[in-house]
Amino acid sequence: MTTRKDNPAVQTLLQQANLDAQLKRIAEKILQQERITPDEGLILFEKGDIGLLGALANHVRERRHGDKTYFNRNFHIEPTNVCIFTCHFCSYSRLYKNREDGWELSIDQMMDIVKKYDNQPVTEVHIVGGVHPKMQLDFFVELIQKIRAHRPDLHVKGFTAVELDYMFRKAKVSVEEGMRILNEAGLQSMPGGGAEIFHPDVRAKICHDKVDADGWLAIHKAAHNRGMHTNATMLYGHVETYAHRIDHMERLRQLQDETGGFNTFIPLKFRNKGNDMSHIPESSIVEDLKLYAVARLYMDNFPHLKAYWPMLGRNTAQLTLSFGVNDLDGTIDDTTKIYSMAGSEEQNPSMNTAQLAMLIKQAGRKPVERDTVYNEIKDYSDVVFSDEELLTK
């Protein structure tokens, strides 16, 4: 019998006569389930080819999750794209002085969005937007309370550490106090945005004026200390080096060792349309796949690795399922503009459950619907979809 440890695909690659000795040692560590160091992570980026990295990452993914690939049924609310910050990669935001070019939703308008889903089996609302100087802590407390009162079964995942850092400072409350207020209002978990690349040299170039690495990590730690789960992102493929990526993943891995509160790591590919960094070419698909593989191998204490299909496009997202990824986010229902405005091929990101499950099946994996915190809701492996279900929007 072949065990996961003796995966023949990986063994064949390791027996190649010309395999670099350092790579071989690292691969053997991974097969023995030993943690790799930052230097070893860097060697994987610098010397690892797509074949070896893919085989190793797939091995680790299957050791942990078999063929299961998670997705959820969700929609987004983007309260505003007006933002006081000036991240150079952002195609979505408008400065306050130009706010007539952007949007600002009232609580009633956002409740109308929630009510549109009244008879639909969505399990999560994801709330994220720009940092508007007039949308403050009490405004969002009211919004969350209203959503929870209207639909108690809907999980509220909301606000990046960037939005929270501003809300808490404006309200003159500590991070712990602010998290308590929002959590008691009904906020249950946090998305992973705003992390970008933690290293100060990169932050100085791409997003100098928003919360720094320590501030971002402190907010997630405060959420974890309240028993809330959060995600972590990394915006890659612009001015950062491989060493910056490892530094970013290392800081997250350390916090995860301490708290265990992260669910999912989500690499976000930089898209270059309509922003101040449009002169920087986007990364190739080979580089994308290598990055997902290294992330699976390095982030050994993160249970889940997500490819966010509205940003990568559904074809590349399907490929990532052989490079360590075990989660494809959600149905989204055309409710986010962040990536369509930055040039993603997904201009109207929306898939119904049948289409998302089929995308996963076509890649040879088992589609499993989950809730926000990865309780399994339904295994779709044996569900046969009608043409009508697959074709309707």
Comparing CB distances to ligand V47, the nearer of 154 and 338 is 338
CB 160 to ligand SF4: min, Å: 7
Comparing CB distances to ligand V47, the nearer of 30 and 70 is 70
The torsion defined by the Cα of 269, 271, 275 and 278, in degrees rounded to 10, comes to 110
Region near ligand SF4 per CB under 6 A, out of 30-38, 89-97, 112-120, 272-280: 89-97
Comparing CB distances to ligand SF4, the nearer of 210 and 290 is 210
Q: Which of 44, 147, 235, 351 binds ligand V47 (CB under 6 A)?
A: 235
Name the region of 260 (left: φ>0; alpha: ψ -120 to 50; beta: rest): left
Q: Is 196 labeled as ligand-binding?
A: yes
* Separation between Cα atoms, residue 268 and residue 156, nearest integer Å: 22
**Cα–chain-centroid distance for residue 192?**
6
* Separation between Cα atoms, residue 338 and residue 344, nearest integer Å: 9
Asked if residue 363 lies in contact with residue 321, where contact means CB atoms within 8 angstroms, the answer is yes
- 196 touches ligand V47 by CB under 6 A: yes
- 162 touches ligand SF4 by CB under 6 A: yes
**Vertex 329, ends 53 and 250: CA angle to 5°?**
45
Q: In what order do the strands lie in the sheet with 327-330?
A: 327-330, 68-72, 366-370, 376-379
CA dist 368 → 66, 83, 114, 124, 201 (Å): 12, 36, 24, 16, 40
Quick one: what does residue 308 bind among ligand SF4, ligand V47, none, with the CB cut-off 5 to 8 Å set by partner type?
ligand V47
* Separation between Cα atoms, residue 301 and residue 35, nearest integer Å: 9
Quick one: what does residue 326 bind among ligand V47, ligand SF4, none, with the CB cut-off 5 to 8 Å set by partner type?
none
Say if residue 295 is exposed, middle or buried (CB neighbours under 10 Å; 0-12, 13-18, 19+). Answer: buried
**What are the tokens at 266?**
């989500």
Handedness of CA 297, 301, 306, 311 (dihedral sign): negative
Q: Is 207 labeled as ligand-binding?
A: no
Asked if residue 41 lies in contact with residue 251, where contact means CB atoms within 8 angstroms, the answer is no
Query: If we measure between CA atoms, which residue out of 225, 153, 162, 159 comes closest to residue 187?
Result: 159
Region near ligand V47 per CB under 6 A, out of 9-17, 89-97, 107-115, 376-384: 89-97
Q: Which of 191, 267, 324, 367 binds ligand V47 (CB under 6 A)?
A: 191
**Which residues between 129 and 168 bind ligand V47 (CB under 6 A)?**
160
Region near ligand SF4 per CB under 6 A, out of 85-93, 115-123, 283-291, 363-371: 85-93
Asked if residue 94 lies in contact with residue 101, where contact means CB atoms within 8 angstroms, the answer is yes
Longest CA–CA separation in the chain, Å? 67
- 309 touches ligand V47 by CB under 6 A: no
CA dist 247 → 48, 118, 231, 250, 295 (Å): 18, 43, 17, 5, 12
Quick one: what does residue 235 bind among ligand V47, ligand SF4, none, with the CB cut-off 5 to 8 Å set by partner type?
ligand V47
Tracing tokens 């990295």 back to the chain, one arrives at 53
Comparing CB distances to ligand SF4, the nearer of 26 and 143 is 143
Region near ligand V47 per CB under 6 A, out of 20-28, 61-69, 86-94, 252-260: 86-94
CB 191 to ligand V47: min, Å: 3
CB 228 to ligand V47: min, Å: 13
Region near ligand V47 per CB under 6 A, out of 7-15, 216-224, 227-235, 288-296: 227-235
CB 103 to ligand SF4: min, Å: 12
Comparing CB distances to ligand SF4, the nearer of 89 and 265 is 89
CB 50 to ligand SF4: min, Å: 30
- 295 touches ligand V47 by CB under 6 A: no
- The residues of the shown chain that bind ligand SF4, judged by CB under 6 A, are 83, 85, 87, 90, 92-93, 130-131, 162, 207, 210
Q: From the annotation, which residues make up the binding site for [4Fe-4S] cluster?
A: 83, 87, 90
Q: From the annotation, which residues make up the binding site?
A: 83, 87, 89-90, 196
- The residues of the shown chain that bind ligand V47, judged by CB under 6 A, are 89-91, 128, 160, 191-194, 196, 231, 233, 235, 266, 268, 270-271, 275, 308, 311, 329, 338, 342
